[in-house]
Structure formats: C-alpha cells, structure tokens
Homo-oligomer: A and B are copies of this chain.
Amino acid sequence: MNLKQLSDMLALSQTTVSRALNGYPEVSEETRRRVADAAKRHGYRPNPSARRLATGKAGMIGYVLPTGKSVDIDPHFVEFLSGLGDYARGHDLDLVLSPADANDEETTYRRIVANKQVDAVYVSSPRPADRRISLLNRLGIPFIVHGRSEGLDFEYAHTDIDNEAAFRDAARLLIQLGHTRIALINGDMRQTFAIFRERGARRALADSGLSLPASAIRSVAMTDENGYRAARSLLEGADAPTAIICSSLIMSLGVVRAIRDLGLTIPRDVSLVAHDDVFPWLRPENFSVPLTTTRSSIRLAGQRIAERLAARISGQETGAWGEVWPVDLVVRASIGSVPT
C-alpha cells in the first residue's frame, strides 16, 4: 500500500493525502479524518526510503562503532544502549551503528553525514581535543557527546557526569577517615573521564596538603585482570596505600582479589571506593565486602541523550550547551579509618 493507491482509493490527490497525514493546515478537518482513518484501516505506512529521499530526514540516529581485531567494545555500551533504546522506541527512532576502523573513524563520520543516513549522531568516550567532535561541528549535523572533551575552541552539546566532583568527594571522605596514602586505579588516560577523575582526587588531596604521586596511580584498560595487577603492584610497593579509589566495578573485582591474595582485609587494611555505572549483573552491595561507590546510572544517561537527540532533530533544542550531572556517593562497608 503506497501513497498513490491510498489517494486513488480516497479519490484525492497524493498531495492532499500527504498533507493530511503530516498535519499541514491546508486540509479540512473532515478530509483529514477520512484520510487518517483510511490510512489506519489499510495499515498504510509511508516508505521511509522515499521519504528520506524527498526530505533528507532519516528518522535514525547514528553511532560510529570503532572496531578492529584488538578493539574491545566497552561493556558499558550495552547499558547505555538500554537507556537509549528505551527512549527511542517511543519516538520512532532507530539507531544505526556504522562500524569503522578504530584508526580511522573520520571517514565513516563523513560518510554517514554526506549520505544523510542519519539525522543526528552521538559520540561516546571522548578524548581531549577530540577530532570527532571538531569534525561533526564542522559538518553541521546535530550531535550530542556523552562525556566531555577538553581543549576544544568551541562549544558543543554534551551530557556528562561530574567525574571530578565524584572523585574529589571520594578522596575527601577517605581523607576524613585519616587516610593519607591514597592510590588511584584509573581508566585509560586518553579518555577525558579519567583525566577528570584524577584531577578530582588530586585536588581533594591537595586541599589537605597531600599529594597524589605518579607512583600511586595506575591507568589501564578497565578489566578484572588489570585491576588485579594494579592493586597488587600498588600494595606490594613501597609506601603502600591504605586506601584505593578505583574507576570501575569490573576492575574492583581484581582489586578485591589482589587484596585478599596479599592476606589483607577490607576495610581493616585497605579501604576501597569504586565507581559504579550501575550494571544489573554486578552490584557493589553484593561484593564480599559491600563496596562504597560513586554511582551514576549510565542507562539514565542513554535515555537522556536519546531525548536530547530527538529534541535536536525536531529543532526543539538548539545551542551548544552541556549538562553535567552530580554523582552519588554511596557509603558501604568497604571503607574505614586508617590502620594504625
């Protein structure tokens, strides 16, 4: 069933039917009702390819997926997707993932924009001075960044969490408990979130006259194994920390294991705070010692970003503004006063 058939059936022109369906004013109410009725009854659905060709609007939001033999997609992605999908579903938006060589994402961004395959794009895991953001900005397609870049000479739309404040608060709490040797097991420093987190921890320490030496920092891909190694090397080194702040729950698995392997106890010997992105399948309260966390649902972020993307597509949202969400600090049993 296409427009022509439908309009023939109604003895109306395609123009009128199209307008009636799309809510244009130059159609009488009665006609509109008749058309809407017939459309529903016959299950008419405009062919999206045709519509796209005619209008340039795609009804899809795009994401460039870095791939490659040694490229691992972040498991957080799936939670984000849950949120995004949840919103998109109610708004007739599909999501198209365009796989790209992780070393050359630009070509793919250019392609999806040039082809008008999508109406808007979102970017995740931004890096400092992220070239993808500059590119999208130049290309003039609506986009939202999940997170923030740094050192860009223009504004752009983003939704982020306050990583700096989160880790500042976490460190501050540990300091209040008497800890002075605090270590940070962070994600890859090429990502801005990791930079912000380190900055937050560092500032809290500085505020109390303490420092965060390079020797107290590990910055690695967020896997269980790396968490283990990092914790182990920290705790076995000179000036072993009495408290550790860890950037992810997955790494914390390894951290907890390392602490135990060394015959230490949480929180008696080591206090631990981790960042929790809220996975349904791994909860900080279920760790052998429930973990104190800085918590922010990445799923909610997905929903919010879908919402903003939709608003941008329909022109309801404009301007290059960002929003930064506060992060909860949830205290559980994994922290305690400094061992004497």
Contact = CB atoms under 8 A, between A and B. Distances in A.
Give the number of copies in the complex: 2
A11 interface: no
A96 interface: yes
Nearest to A288: B257
Interface in A84-119: 84-86, 88-89, 93-101, 111, 114-117
A222 B81 CA distance: 19
A313 interface: no
B94 A94 contact: no
B282 A250 contact: yes
A198 interface: no
Interface string A55-98: 00010100001011101111101110110111011000111111
Interface residues of A, number: 61
A283 interface: yes
Contact of A49 (B94, B116, B250): B116
B96 A96 contact: yes
B97 A286 contact: no
Interface in A261-289: 261, 279-283, 286-288
Contacts of A287: 257
Contacts of A228: 286
Nearest to A58: B49
* Secondary structure class of chain A's binding surface, majority of residues: mixed
Nearest to A249: B224
Contacts of A225: 283, 286
Contact of A99 (B86, B115, B116, B117): B86
A7 interface: no
Contacts of A98: 94-95
A307 to B, nearest CB: 13
A10 interface: no
A85 B114 contact: no
Given A45-B114, A52-B49, A279-B75, A94 B99 contact: yes
Contacts of A97: 81, 85, 94-97
A50 B257 CA distance: 56
Given A45-B111, A78-B78, A95-B96, 20 more contacts: A47-B115, A48-B115, A49-B58, A49-B117, A53-B53, A67-B89, A72-B82, A73-B78, A75-B75, A75-B78, A75-B281, A77-B81, A85-B97, A94-B99, A224-B283, A224-B286, A250-B281, A250-B282, A253-B253, A261-B288
Which 9 pairs from chain A and chain B are nearest by CB?
A85-B99, A89-B99, A223-B281, A67-B85, A49-B52, A72-B280, A49-B53, A95-B97, A78-B78
